[in-house]
Amino acid sequence: MARTDSRATAARAPRSEGETAEIRTALQARRDELREEYATAVAEINSLRGDRLTDTAGDDQADAGTKTFEREQEILLANGILDRIGQVERALERLEAGAYGWCEACGDPIPVERLAAFPSATLCITCKQLEERR
């Protein structure tokens, strides 16, 4: 591949204010959803810990082990949600800076629906499919 310079100079089609607002609304809705999921996961972790503290006397080792395992799984889940919240927040920052929502490979605007579904998407659908076929 000798010609890579054309994509660096590819003109970015400006997004309309309406589109930017639409993306912002979608990202904020996603962030709120994730925050709720996170709160639910944290409550679950706390309730599992509560169980373990109050029921230990009656539990045999296997039960205690299962609860520890469940709690670890919940913590992993909560951390995963936190990562996704971070991704959405970074996306919002980049959106405000005018640097969000363009395909990194071809420079085309990424469709609003795709950004709403995958806030961390950096490729348009066409380029993503090309990449997956590689």
Residue whose pair of structure tokens reads 């609304």 in the numeric block? 25
Specify the amino acid at residue 31.
Answer: R
CB 25, min distance to Zn ion, A: 24
Q: Which CB atom, from 82 or from 127, has the smaller least distance to Zn ion? A: 127
Among 29, 76, 106, 130, binds Zn ion (CB under 5 A): 106
Report the site for Zn ion in 66-105 (rule: CB under 5 A).
103, 105
- What phi and psi values does residue 132 have, to the nearest 5 degrees? -65, -30
Q: Which CB atom, from 13 or from 106, has the smaller least distance to Zn ion? A: 106
CB 17, min distance to Zn ion, A: 23
Among 10, 42, 112, 127, binds Zn ion (CB under 5 A): 127
Number of residues engaging Zn ion in binding (CB under 5 A): 5
Among 48, 92, 95, 124, binds Zn ion (CB under 5 A): 124
Distance CA 51, CA 37 (A): 21
Interaction site with Zn ion (CB under 5 A): 103, 105-106, 124, 127
